[in-house]
Structure 1
């Protein structure tokens, strides 16, 4: 549980820059409350006049009479009636204005929150995505911001209801302090009852909802990503069980907790009408022949209570709903203020080109205190093809991540243009890189958009890049050519087709450094041969680093480094390394090595 000041501190964080909305809304809420109180108070003189009861002794009558006398026609009752209609209409108009502004405010806040989340996540280090589950991210993007918006919606409702109720209560107190005391006692008992039963229930529901949502999103994301092997291997029952378990986290407790939460709300309706009936009977017995004289007070209090009671019921409901949203507020606030994943510091030097060799000097790297690279020294010659080979887990992909500045070395340095890589502005440096991973990323759009990847290129440039990647022919054979939609994760394409589109994406950038992280490992022999020709061609135009799975694909590399257990153990050309009969020779002549 967080304290009330801390709760409002977190809420204020989300509305920075929008405070003027709240000030304006509060002023409108005050005016609405005053008008509602005046409308209720009008019932007293109207009933008094209607039943021909002398109300001149009540100070509220004199206050209202001054306004009614401004109407030039009709009797006092007509004056009061016109005034009642005018105030009710004005209240309706102001409420419409209030909620129009309130919804604009909520729209601006939620858009700002969602943009802030995306900006924050986008600026987090790559390490964040390693440590965070996909389900947690989906919850953070989709579910939690909506709950923050609902929090402000309930607070705005609470503001109008509370202000209106307090002003109506004040007006009723002026009419009859004794009657108001009775109402306050009844309302106080209701609040205590609601607080005792509903305490912590909604907050528990909120935490359970987050846990359930994260578990559901995890299962759904995994199922969609792996639907082909799941169906092919008839393994859907496992994910079905996981999904059922995720649902139980929240929904098994939902009915029980919601029922308990609803009891006081249902009971208070009946208790109100029972109380009204009891009060009428008591007054009738107590006043006997003078019962008619208490009708104006009774009628005004009945109307006032009918006005206030639903609002007080809502206030209790709002409190529970606000408690349920609290975990989401904390989740979004913590995500936006977490500095843990801001260790990659942007440099201030613009990287306009790569004019030198790329030098890794005494580079060490560890992840979660587990050593990955140990004093790695290697030179990637400008304009050459350099290959990096080694067993799984040896640190090959970690070196590509360092070159992409997804991580920084724990010690040692990477030099480009005789400058520390960390001194360059990251965006300008990455604009010079083409990157192709083992698992091609294809999104649900056209082939053209997948090649352009958010940038603007001419059709000539797109086709040129596709031809370099040996993708133009199969694309042209599709019914809609480059405008063909590929489906989620490129489900309509083969693995080789997806990889060639990704290679075209890299080549259209005309990179100065091309990094291929086992880029041909998912291709069949025919596709691999075609793509290898493209790689050989483009490597003549830029500096190329190839992380090789199939060693036959790097025979023509200018320099090959063998890495084992995080250390460079060999370097040389293909022929030189075979003559050494070391680790490279073992890998090349292994029975698992494809020829």
Structure 2
């Protein structure tokens, strides 16, 4: 703001100096009050008032103003980037701290669009807002100079300028509406890009490349239509301003000469003032258009941030240390239902996981296995019932603290587009080379040391350069590096061959005495060696006990194949 004020003052002072400068070039007496007072004051201070000296002052003012404008533009650009960076960081932090239950109901493309597109639009709009303030400050300086020269012409310009703004009010409403439509088009583009990239393999398999291209082309056309509509609206307002401005400038000149008989030097200066004010008015109008166009993006980003806050997890932790349990993890009559579902994912579930034992969970798809895992990890909070860590109730901020003691290996693994080493270190940033070697060995992932770059091998996007089994073993090693109290394996051996699956199972058995293991899976060897097997059906526990006990409940000493069939593996 200080730079804006100083730039305006230098502009106004330079304009006022033009009158005595022009009159001195005409060898005419200075009669204008303001200019005369300026020259009189300069003479009293012993400052020369010659034409060459006045030209030098005007030049210095121009140089000073140019320097101030450079500094202001640099600062405004820095402020724009700081705003964007801080908003992005705040939005991303709020996103990460939101409740998992709520996040699963949201569109990831909307969140990505907010982080990548909307906040960038806000930054651009903020920069135009700063430009608008600068334009208004300069206009104020011109207005003061114009009033000093002729209040009559200035009043006429003020009234006519107001009428122009009134005439163009529809253009500003249109800019706001186009901004809202552009937001919708950007969200559609983000969703289409994400879905198209995820579905490339399917498109090639089904031979639907042309359909993907057609859909993408339609989305691009819609987005471009909104952008061109705004450009058309902006260009139209610029044209109207130029036409109105030129007409008014001629009108001011005629009125000054014929109506108020203003001196030539004074009138020429007024022409310069209004000649600059008109494009400045036009620039302010354009800047206001861009601000209004970005306003819906700000509203959308704020709406999403408010939703994150409303659905935030409790974040105040009593301690950042992992929780260590000594006896058991217990669920007592736990129920959970996702929003929009007609039936609960889990209903009155009660079970106990003894410390340092292995529990296998089986059941049909949709039986509630993944929901059970999410509850045990502290990702979800039960609607009713209790989850106890020994005698500690798992609730509130304790859920986040408990997650530091839990490791999870899903069926659909996630790897960063980075080296194997850096992917492993996400499990334990302080792990030594010996720790990495031990974890890879336990996870049957010694293949890493046969690779040309070994731990420094790049895995590609999502681990695409590795096979499915190799990816799962890397993720298992990452989980083991965490040295968790509870290890949850969700179909984690489904992509492994028999030999490596047996090695991992043996490694899991060797973990007895170090951690509690929950295995979601249907493989027979896993069930036979589990301390207990739990079968879920429609969110309820329908069978629980050792593998031998469950076989007896479903047919005594029948063959394993018969038992597997009856338990719907």
3-state secondary structure, aligned to 1:541 = coil
Normalising by structure 2, report the TM-score.
0.91
| Aligned residue number for residue 14 of structure 1 | none
Structure 1 segment 245-260 matched on structure 2, within 5 A:
245-260=218-233
| Aligned residue number for residue 89 of structure 1 | 63
Rounded Cα–Cα distance in structure 2 between residues aligned with 1:366 and 1:480: 47
| Aligned residue number for residue 348 of structure 1 | 318
Shift of 1:261: 3.2
Q: Can you list the C-alpha shifts for 1:36-83, whole angstroms capped at 9, x where unaligned?
A: 111111111111221233332x21112321454378686532232122
Shift of 1:569: 0.8
Shift of 1:486: 0.9
Rounded Cα–Cα distance in structure 2 between residues aligned with 1:487 and 1:84: 62
Q: Can you list the C-alpha shifts for 1:335-365, whole angstroms capped at 9, x where unaligned?
A: 2233331255766366541211111111111
Q: Which runs of 5+ in 2 are unaligned?
A: none
Shift of 1:85: 1.6
Shift of 1:110: 2.3
Q: Can you list the C-alpha shifts for 1:136-190, whole angstroms capped at 9, x where unaligned?
A: 1111111122222222211211111101111211211121122213322332232
**RMSD between aligned alpha carbons?**
2.7
Normalising by structure 1, report the TM-score.
0.88
> Using a 3 Å threshold, how does the CA distance of structure 1 residues 71 and 477 change in structure 2: closer, same or farther?
farther
Higher mean displacement: 501-510 or 97-106 = 97-106
| Aligned residue number for residue 18 of structure 1 | none
Q: Give 2:175's match in structure 1, choosing from 202, 213, 231.
A: 202
| Aligned residue number for residue 3 of structure 1 | none
Structure 1 segment 72-471 matched on structure 2, within 5 A:
76-196=50-170, 198-277=171-250, 286=258, 294-338=263-307, 339-342=309-312, 348=318, 351-368=322-339, 370-422=343-395, 425-453=398-426, 455-471=429-445
Shift of 1:237: 3.1
> Using a 3 Å threshold, how does the CA distance of structure 1 residues 567 and 301 change in structure 2: closer, same or farther?
same
Structure 1 segment 474-493 matched on structure 2, within 5 A:
474-493=447-466
Contact 1:172-1:304 within 8 A present in 2 as well: yes
> Using a 3 Å threshold, how does the CA distance of structure 1 residues 381 and 59 change in structure 2: closer, same or farther?
same
Rounded Cα–Cα distance in structure 2 between residues aligned with 1:478 and 1:232: 30
Contact 1:437-1:517 within 8 A present in 2 as well: yes
Is 1:42 aligned with 2:11? Answer: no
Structure 1 segment 443-592 matched on structure 2, within 5 A:
443-453=416-426, 455-472=429-446, 474-539=447-512, 541-581=514-554, 588-589=564-565
Rounded Cα–Cα distance in structure 1 between residues aligned with 2:75 and 2:275: 27
Rounded Cα–Cα distance in structure 1 between residues aligned with 2:566 and 2:215: 41
Rounded Cα–Cα distance in structure 2 between residues aligned with 1:178 and 1:502: 79
Contact 1:201-1:261 within 8 A present in 2 as well: no
Contact 1:145-1:328 within 8 A present in 2 as well: yes
Contact 1:73-1:79 within 8 A present in 2 as well: no
> Using a 3 Å threshold, how does the CA distance of structure 1 residues 222 and 140 change in structure 2: closer, same or farther?
same
> Using a 3 Å threshold, how does the CA distance of structure 1 residues 255 and 112 change in structure 2: closer, same or farther?
closer
Rounded Cα–Cα distance in structure 1 between residues aligned with 2:509 and 2:161: 82
Rounded Cα–Cα distance in structure 2 between residues aligned with 1:425 and 1:591: 36
Rounded Cα–Cα distance in structure 1 between residues aligned with 2:39 and 2:555: 106
Rounded Cα–Cα distance in structure 2 between residues aligned with 1:297 and 1:265: 29
3-state secondary structure, aligned to 1:321 = helix
Shift of 1:31: 2.4
Shift of 1:279: 5.5
Q: Which runs of 5+ in 1 are unaligned?
A: 1-25
